[in-house]
A and B are shown apart, each in its own frame.
Chain A
Amino acid sequence: MEYPEMHRQIVDELLDGKFVLSRERHFDEIKENEGFYIDFFKISFNHELEINNEFARLISDETDENLSRDISIFFAILCYELDRQGKNFLDALQYSEFSMEEINYLFDNSSWIDLLQSNKQLRDSDTRKRFIFSSMGKRNIIDKVSDERFYFTPAYKVFIDFANELAGHTLNKSPGDSDNGN
């Protein structure tokens, strides 16, 4: 049986929880053999392959809930603080390069400081840096520009969609029951 080119790299990275981005060569291989990989991962591992125009990733019930929760908290606070500064955070996530200095300023002055201090990954500048460059970097959620600078890959959209859906549920469920900490 013949496997698509770069099969091993595709399997290794996806099983490692990585987002394979559209700019990578093996993304094209996945896209070209979409049907094969959907079946392959479903039959071999019972994982769903999510593939769109920007990235491919595996979804499964074997989820790294702690990491996902920490990343969600990270994006939630980042969006909230950027908005407080009057910035369009969606544009910033999509187009801007961030420096650790900027991130630390936003997080250290956040009104969610209690929550941040109780979070082992985000509580100070060192842990945050490790979290961004290592935990998020390993999964291709950010791209490192230098030791102090990075930008987000389209993988951030998974978390923005999550917030959007959550808002949909909240607004449908309990009108007049919000508190935003403004």
Chain B
Amino acid sequence: MIKAEPKTILHFMWSYFDVLRELFDVQHKDGLIRKETLATILQRNKRDIKPQLIEYKLLRKVSDDYELRDVYYKLIEFVLFEFRPLLPEEIEKFGVSISDLFRNIKDGIHGDKDILIDRIRGLSSQIKEFADSVEKNSIRLLNECRELKSNVNQLDYREKIQRASFWIQYYILPLNSILDVNHSESITNKMLGISEFANQKRLAFTDEGIRQSFEKLYFQLIQTNDDLLKQSKVLTNELLPLIDRIRTESLILTGWITFLQSHNKIQPPKLLKSKKGNPYSKRVYLNTKEYFEQFKADEEAIIVDDDQEYETWVFNKTKYKRELIKSLPIDNFFDWCHEQLKDETSEITNEKVFALTGLLFDDEIEVNANPEMKFVSIKTKTSKLSVPILNAKKNGIS
């Protein structure tokens, strides 16, 4: 018996929660609280509360050491959301008890009314515990995976791969098969069967009390099945891809780190060398030879002087500029060039046309292209030049 009032115990827990949390952490890690550890924690917090911890039955003596009683341990675990991941075997046991109770309910359906109601209550309680365990496990596994992803413990990648594989192999996949509704032996599947049975009985049973018990069970099962479906989705849509990604990425990073650590010794992936010749490539000699050989003329070239006199033409810029300014505005500049040269020289050459083109860059002249970008041809002695139609006018005067 506890002599203290319930409110006193809860007030005590509220006042000394920091100490209780430390004790919880120690037990969470080591499985129990050594008497020396208890003394150290109490001393560090300057709290002499050992008698109350015993009196209020928060602590239980285990030989010389202590442990938090299960009910308080679970309470602190719940409020801190720090659950120990349950092994699939620990969850599986609910499957066994749920099956046993269900079988007994079916077998004793026409038996004693009170035991039937107690069995329905027992089944309901097991289902609740099962659903709680699954939820706590999913939360815990999700936290573990997120911690692994952010690598709070600074694990190296090899260890990350091992940890990820460990969670997948021992916790996530087995939990997934417990929840897999398509698997005939899964607990979820068994619960669907129970739900169907409870649905029939809540409508058809003659005794009203039993009918109500089945009705309660039925609605609890509907809710639980919904919750389990959500948990199953968390596992398959979030947890498995997340941890699988951690494993794959850690594997790739292990490879990259191996490479970076000795990148000069490891052969990188093959990448085809481009065929374009480098000066130091082994083909460059033959390629260059081939290139120059194409210009090698077989016949000897002889230059023969002829006595013909050629016209010497010197571009008189001042004169042509004066002529041009006098003729402004001009609709077609190259036409003007052609006319000038035709009148004054014996032949029109490319050189003469290009020399006159230089006038376009004079500051006193403004040049505009024909908006339709039309081209005209000018015939020179050797070529036919295709030139744009350019309008020229005096700069600054419209």
- Show the binding face of A for B, using Cβ within 8 Å: 14-17, 47, 57-65, 67-69, 71-73, 75-77, 79-80, 83, 86, 88-90, 112, 115, 139, 158-168, 170-171, 175, 178-182
Contact = CB atoms under 8 A, between A and B. Distances in A.
Given A63-B273, A68-B268, A76-B257, 4 more contacts: A16-B275, A73-B260, A163-B253, A179-B261
B271 A88 contact: no
Contacts of A72: 259, 263, 268-269
Contact of A68 (B158, B252, B260, B270): B270
A166 B271 contact: no
B1 interface: no
Interface of B: 149-151, 154-158, 161, 245, 248-249, 251-261, 263-264, 266-276
B272 A57 contact: yes
A58 B263 contact: no
Nearest to B254: A167
A165 B269 CA distance: 11
A181 B269 CA distance: 24
Contacts of A170: 254-255, 258
Contacts of B273: 17, 60, 62-64
Given A170-B258, A182-B156, A163 B263 contact: no
5 contacts: A15-B274, A64-B271, A86-B149, A170-B255, A171-B254
Contacts, number: 136
A30 to B, nearest CB: 15
Contact of A59 (B257, B268, B272): B272
A60 B157 contact: no
B274 A76 contact: no
Contacts of B255: 162-168, 170
B256 A76 contact: yes
Contacts of B253: 79-80, 83, 163, 167, 180
Contacts of A62: 272-273
Contacts of A166: 255-256, 258-259, 266
Contacts of A16: 274-276
Nearest to A90: B249
A15 B245 CA distance: 36
Contacts of B261: 179
A83 to B, nearest CB: 6
Given A163-B259, A165-B255, A67 B249 contact: no
A159 B149 CA distance: 23
